[in-house]
Amino acid sequence: MDGVGQKIKARKGETAHRKTLKKRHNHYFLYALLAPALILTIIFKYVPMYGAVIAFKDFSPLKGIMRSDWVGFKYFEKFLNSPNFTDIFTNTISLSLFGLICSFPIPIVLALMLNQVRQAKIKKNVQLILYAPNFISVVVIVGMLFIFLSPVGPINQLVSAIFGQPLMFMSEPGYFRSIYILSGIWQGAGWSSIIYVAALAGVDPELHNAASLDGANIFQRILHIDLPTIRPIMAIVFILAAGGIMSIGFEKAYLMQTSMNLPSSEIISTYVYKVGLQAGDYSYSAAVGLFNSVINVFLLVAVNFVVKKLNEGEGLY
Amino acid sequence: MNLASSRMDRFIIGINYILLTFCVLIIIVPLIYIVIASFMDPIALLNKGISFNVSSWSLEGYRKILGNEAMTRGFINSVFYSVSFSILTIIVSVFAGYALSVNELKGRNLFMTMFIVTMFFGGGLIPTYLLVKNLGMLDTVWAILLPGIVNVWDIILARTFFKGIPNELKEAANVDGASDATIFFRIVLPLSKPIIFVIALYAFVGQWNSYFDAMIYLDNAKLYPLQLVLRSILIQNQTMPGMIGDQLAMAELKRLSEMIKYSSIVISSLPLLIMYPFFQKYFEKGVLVGSLK
Amino acid sequence: MKVMQKVTISGLTIALLLTGCNSGSSNPTTDANGKVTLNFLTQSSALAPADPNDKLINKRLEEKTGIHINWKNYTTDQFIEKRNLAVASGDLPDGIFDAGYTDYDLLKLAKDGVIIPVDDLINNYMPNFQKVLKAAPEYKKMLTAPDGHMYSFPWIEELGTGKEAIQSVDDFPWINQAWLKKLGLKMPTTTEELKQVLIAFKTQDPNGNGEADEIPLSFIDKPGGEDLTFLYGSFGLGDNWDHTVVTNDGKVVFTASDNGYKDAINYIHSLYQEGLIDVESSQQDWNTYLAKGKDKRYGLYFTWDKANITGPNDDYQLMNPLAGPSGKTNVTRTNGLGFDRGKMVITSTNQQVEATAKWIDQLYEPLQSIQDNWGTYGDTKEQNIFKFDEKKGMLKHLSLEGSAPVEVRQKTNIAGPLAILDEYYGKYTTKPDDAASRLKLMKKVMVPHMQADHIYPKVFFSIEELDRLSTIETDLFAYVQRKRTEWYQNGKVNEEWPTYLQELDRLGLQEWLQIKQSGYDRNQQ
């Protein structure tokens, strides 16, 4: 395997030239490219940032955020002292973590598979079908889950015929995580594969030809040509996803909750929504958001560190 | 393309096709359900399931939507927002991504950090709303278009992609005395069609499906995007037990929303599915090749 | 780098300057002719006209009072967000109409000085509202906050009073009369008889189609009108949606820790074991429940009004309260009332407080309240709910001629603060048909079996108490609901009962009881 790999690398290297270059000192143009993003970020993200302190204040609209009373960690304590805090926290992390681990490889595999399809028409149509579920709103997805997985729905008709009893998919806490993650993959894997497909578009088909002539089979070719091309993107996607673990969204979990599956379906965002239903409790949700963000940052830095080790020093930083 | 295929290769490709067919089937079956469900009466749907019996179909779900003037306006608005948003995102985020991919750019890491921090920490809804208000952008299209086009995810993605463009190309141009601008426009951009179109597509779709910004910043119903219009029909409030008149209200509203649940998906995703093939051709293999030669 | 620095700094400065200024409300409150204009924030359904001034009722109001209202109207799906943002950003209107504020909201807004107390306004400028409070003084107490002031104007809709109030029981049990007749069975009077009847439904094919597709009992396993907790009454105190019952010697009890509760669950489990309960009950939503109901597949089901589910026919009939193993019957009363505290508030930036109060007072005039709630008469553009009998000064309900009542109502009414007292019926208006028939059923079938003399009143708790209650209830009620559903299916209520009680305490039950009891005692003074 190694010999082939080396040969492929050598092929790539043949197209490199070494020449001396003049160093450029003032990159005004590049700064100009950067400027709109920077200015907009400063205006719309940094200027309002003073508002983050709302998590430490008892917000009163007439006083505004800055002049409202300081209450320190009151809302953080309220959150951390919730009777079921540990469960909710664990639910959030495990849902996110397993979700990440399960759904990360699928778009990649899909992209690699699609890449091997020769006929353009088939490829196009298959792609279209794979992308379609992305456009279905989460309300309908969950609605469909309830219908398909209902005790009298199609899946359970099969189960009942075999085992005599239906499986209570939407009631048992044990199923929640799997259903959540699998339906998420069903919905999003196709769409997420687009970025990898695009990256693979940059691979010179000549490389594949040449490698094949050198005796490499498909696996070897994928391993040594395709994968290295998309590795940087894989790394980035993974790192960024890790940095979002605590912030897993609220809507889908909330819709999927039934009275029985709460032990695994109650996550931070749904809980905060319910407690903060006395509307306008900005301080409480801000405190929880801040708590989540701090954890996310730690995760990001940690994962970035690990990924860099595996990815030849290339990570977010 | 004629690749020498060994036995192993043909076997693998065969498995590949089987797996892909499986994926397609898994996805297409529920999709067919949705399309057919959009033609059915919700009660019949829940009781008897899908019926392929065309005579039991009804166009009610579509009539309710298409006849609604607010829907048409919402549709046009959404097209406008999504296209503009998409173009602006490219100019702002993708271009910034390129700048950050150039190793020699001073302060590169500082700027990157500035961007990344905003992914985790922010002021929250109230200060942002106040800012938008004070800038006079409330109830205008700018409130939708400006704040969101700096997408750090896109910046990072673009940067990664640009880093992947072989340095030799840029250096070659450098030697020939080309400026930063020339390198960017003549060499880098033409090679970046895939990433540009991917980000444009993601931005377009993201904006098409979004409603929250529009909800909080817009008052004038004439500016509403499609999703917001749909939402006002689909969402109902919880009633408190004891509010008598609203019991009947609930039943009626629920019936209405059930009816358009599926047809609204078909209508709002149709344009996207039709548009996609247009983007498709930029994802074809070998885009990079031409430039090397 | 220098260029970037300059850009950054100037950008920051501009932005800071802009954020610094806060626009004061500079809306003119009188126009050129001295006519008063007020700015109100409100909500309406997606079916209603975008500008509430297009509604006939509002047009007539403007003529009557000479005051013009500028409405900022949002559809109900966005209203809460928009309302909260408006307040949080300091962009206050003169008043918020149909505000939907919870008690906590009201107290917080009052504390922060966003809304003003209205006691003096009522005493000085609002004769109609004073009349209402005099005729029904219990509402004055309900409206008064712990600090002794009133901060909002209520919505009051009485349909029957005391035990006969239409809200007394929400989950009416409807039994399939057609099947009873077909099988030659009598209406069950005890819980055991019900079980036998349900078994007969299941095994004897009453719908005659040769298949055992009858669903003997169905319900939606969530607190509300479709829950089967009606049956719990046969075993003791019973249960309602906020698990609160007051004994006849004034003690507040948590229904879900009472012994009768345990017995009720055992009973339901026994039904479950016989396969009498709809498998989908623990997870179905309204639409699924409705679909099967329309198909008349139920033997016994629960809802507010059978017309909503199985239709206004005679196939289903209201079942009588059943006697439990002790031989006694009981119908548990809900703590529901046609009363909404925070329907309208006046903000502290309002500069025409007297005019506002007078305008609001008009809404409490009996004929006005009636129209605001249901719809109007003499409208040439929209369908009329009423016709006006000039001689008697009475509004009479018209037939709806097939339109959905809701659609008509939402297009023409204005809701908001109003009061419709029981004594108005027969004097100022007729009763709506569906309400009238339900009230009759309530009086005939349910009231005679109601053991409880008191319900838990609409206590106005303090901010701290409200905070504690809502935090505790989020976990406590969810736990109760979950355990109950589990026990229906696995029957382990007796063995798990001690651990269950411990867990209730851990989740704050004792503190909850204490807050609610002290609230009740305060209210009785």
Residue C429 near residue C369 (C-beta atoms within 8 A): no
- The verdict on C32 touching B (C-beta cutoff 8 Å) is no
Judging by beta carbons within 10 Å of its beta carbon (0-12, 13-18, 19+), is residue C312 exposed, middle or buried? Answer: exposed
Q: Give residue-wise pLDDT tens across range B147-169.
A: 888 989 899 989 988 888 877 77
Chains with ≥3 CB–CB distances under 8 Å to C: A, B
Band (pLDDT 50/70/90 cuts) for residue A279 is very low
What residues of A are in contact with residue C23 (Cβ under 8 Å)?
A: none
Domain boundaries, chain A: 68-310
Query: Of the candidates C184, C123, C129, which has an alpha carbon nearest to the alpha carbon of residue C154?
Result: C129
Q: Which residue has the higher pLDDT, A295 or C408?
A: A295
Assess whether pLDDT exceeds 50 at residue B240. Answer: no
Distance of residue B163 Cα from the nearest chain A Cα, in angstroms: 9
Q: How far is C52 from chain A (nearest CA, A)?
A: 25
Residue C496, pLDDT above cutoff 90: yes
Q: Please check the confidence at residue A116 and state whether its pLDDT lies above 90.
A: no
Q: Phi and psi at residue C422, in whole multiples of 5°?
A: -55, -35
pLDDT, position C518: 95
CATH architecture of the domain B68-235 equals: Orthogonal Bundle (1.10)
If pLDDT is split at 50, 70 and 90, which confidence band does B198 have? confident
Cβ separation A275–C470 shorter than 8 A: yes
d(CA A249, CA A255): 11
Percent of chain B with pLDDT over 90: 18
Q: Mean pLDDT in chain C? A: 88
Residue C23 has pLDDT above 80, yes or no: no
Q: How far is A40 from chain B (nearest CA, A)?
A: 7
Q: Which of residues 37-96 of B touch C (CB under 8 A)?
A: 42-43, 45-47
Q: What is the pLDDT of residue C257?
A: 93
A244, A264, A271, B117, C505 from A283: Cα distances, Å: 21, 26, 15, 21, 28
* A134 interfaces chain B, CB cutoff of 8 Å: yes
Least confident of B34-38, C245-249, C498-502, C515-519: B34-38
For C326, phi and psi rounded to 5 degrees? -80, -10
C-alpha A128/C-alpha A122 separation (Å) is 10
Give the strand order in the sheet containing C153-157.
C68-75, C37-44, C95-101, C339-346, C153-157, C418-420
Which is more confidently placed, C119 or C213?
A: C119
pLDDT in tens, C270-290: 999 999 999 899 888 888 898
Amino acid letter, C404: A
User: What is the model's pLDDT at position B157?
Assistant: 87
Residue count of chain A: 317
Q: How far is CA C233 from its chain centroid?
A: 22
User: Residue A315 and residue C494: Cα distance in Å, rounded?
Assistant: 58
Would you say C417 and C155 are in contact if contact means Cβ atoms under 8 Å apart?
A: yes
Q: What are the residue ranges spanned by the domains of chain C? A: 37-162+338-432, 172-332+461-524
A279/C22 CB distance under 8 A:
no
**Confidence class for position B256, pLDDT limits 50, 70, 90:** low
- Closest-CA residue to A13 (of B188, B103, B192, B168): B168
- Dist. CA C319–CA C189, nearest whole Å: 9
pLDDT for the residue numbered A62: 82
Task: Please tell me which of the candidates C11, C90, C283 has its beta carbon nearest to residue A43.
Answer: C11
- For chain A positions 247-276, those within 8 Å of chain B (CB to CB) are none
Query: Is the C-alpha dihedral spanning B246, B249, B255, B260 positive or negative?
Result: negative
Which residues in chain A have Cβ-Cβ distances shorter than 8 Å to C88? 59, 61, 280, 282
Terminal-to-terminal C-alpha distance of chain A: 32
Instruction: Grade residue B48 by pLDDT with cuts at 50, 70 and 90.
Output: low
Q: Quote the distance between the C-alpha of residue B147 and its chain's center.
A: 16
Q: Is B130 on the interface with C (CB under 8 A)?
A: yes
| Model pLDDT for residues B102-152, shown as the tens digit of each residue | 888 888 889 999 999 998 888 888 889 989 999 999 999 999 999 888 989
- A68-310 belongs to CATH 1.10.3720.10: yes
User: Tell me: the pLDDT tens digits for B63-73?
Assistant: 777 777 788 88
The answer to whether the Cβ–Cβ distance between A274 and C485 falls below 8 Å is: no
Q: Do A278 and C470 touch (CB under 8 A)?
A: yes
Q: Where are the domains of chain B?
A: 7-61, 68-235
Calpha distance C290→B46 (Å, rounded): 9
Which one of B126, B156, B160 has the shortest CB-CB distance to A54? Answer: B126
Q: Residue A173's closest chain C neighbor by CA?
A: C482
Is residue B255 scored above 80 in pLDDT?
A: no
Which fold is adopted by the domain C172-332+461-524? D-Maltodextrin-Binding Protein; domain 2 (3.40.190)
List of chain B residues whose C-beta atoms are within 8 Å of the C-beta of residue C374: 245
* Best to test chain C binding among B41, B45, B46 (most C CBs inside 10 Å): B46
Residues C470, A83: C-beta atoms closer than 8 Å: no
SS3 content of chain C, % helix, strand, coil (to 5): 45, 15, 40
Q: Chain C partners of A277 at a C-beta cutoff of 8 Å? A: 470
Interface test with B, best of A38, A45, A116 (most B CBs within 10 A): A45
- Select C37-162+338-432's CATH number: 3.40.190.10, 3.40.50.1370, 3.40.50.720, 2.30.30.90: 3.40.190.10
- pTM > 0.90: no
* Token couple for C151: 């901060």
Nearest CA in chain A to B131: A48
Is-same-fold flag (C37-162+338-432; C172-332+461-524)? yes
Regarding predicted confidence, which is higher, C19 or C131? C131
ipTM of the complex: 0.82
* β strands within A122-274, DSSP E: none
B35 to chain C nearest CA, in Å?
A: 19
CA distance C308 to B218: 36
What is the arithmetic mean of pLDDT over A148-174?
A: 87
A–C CB contacts, 8 A cutoff, strictly below: 111
d(CA C358, CA C21): 34
- CA distance linking residue B176 with residue B185, whole number of Å: 15
Of C40, C47, C41, C64, nearest in space to C367 by CA: C64
Q: From the CA of C226, how many Å to the nearest CA of chain A?
A: 15
Specify whether the CB–CB gap between C292 and C215 falls below 8 A.
yes
Tally Cβ neighbours within 10 Å of residue C204. Answer: 15
pLDDT at C18 over 50: no
CB contacts, 8 Å: C90 with chain A? 61-62, 64
Please provide the average confidence, as pLDDT, over all residues in chain A: 84
